[in-house]
Structure 1
């Protein structure tokens, strides 16, 4: 892989999907001033315009997506499609209802931000989105600490160790080194944890969703991330 193929070695490329010009201009200005730099590759006022353009955006690293367009209800169907098309999505919305936040994470969003959280959180979330580490915004932390799902799987002590170490690092190799186990064993533990969550009706297909589950269930604290 060359530097141009590695998103951590080149300028991060983002797309903005929002129906307010002021949001486009604000995010553009924040990205222009970001360190490392962030390039806004394109802008859309409707998520379906972006979906119809697929797959021309094969070099896009992350999509910043609002949920509400033209005063309609939050468009979760568009979010699901964009995630299923393989894009890493940051939700940037005025809606902060905990159940909506958790639903978006379950559908594949990597981070959920309130529009009141502003530049520092959004830029940090954009940089984190191209890595394997979660970015925990205040909106996410609040949603995760409200218990909406009483069905908790039982995790072993070792599974909890693997889970916490994986949340705190970008690399499964480093998790293995820290716990003196192989990467294969790390993967086995994570697969078993996801199976346990799926078996109680609370699937966690992404790292962000698994973080949400773990915080909800008291397996980790937000300040441990």
Structure 2
């Protein structure tokens, strides 16, 4: 009857309006939650694993440069072993900000700047230091004689020169790999494509090439 039909339409309209009110309330609550998180400074930050060169001091290489307290670059573990107060100390390449080399008079200087809390350029945006209250080294400077004495094969500064080149090489390779991993992290995993067995290979219909790439036979 017309009356029953009108009541049914009214009931459906009431349900639709009620559903719209529920959706609006849900969207408003989600918006308020985003604003609260923004004010509190909550952001979704990824925890980056720490780079560990060696698990224990006994794992350090046994090369003579380390025993002689010279700078040694371990390319396999991407680590620079530096003499600090008479002891070899391992620094992973990720802790080194930059290096510079200079010659002043008869001496060559190698300066190594390290990442530390409060540095101008952060190592990674959104990544904090595990122990920001610990004591950090800011920079290290090594000096060596740049002149060769009679009977010497090379100047003492050759170790600094070799270390500078190797550190640059390892640092470049490490940065390239990190950039590649960061790029891959943003990729979305795609399921394996399955070709349909019911149809033939897809083809473009009514497709013509202009101008014609086939040369006409001249007679």
Give yes or no for TM over 0.5: no
Higher strand proportion: 2
Question: What is the TM-score when the length of structure 1 is the normalising length?
Answer: 0.22
Higher helix proportion: 1
Question: What is the TM-score when the length of structure 2 is the normalising length?
Answer: 0.22
Larger gyration radius, structure 1 or structure 2: 2
Q: Which has the higher contact order (CA 8 A, sep 6+)?
A: 1
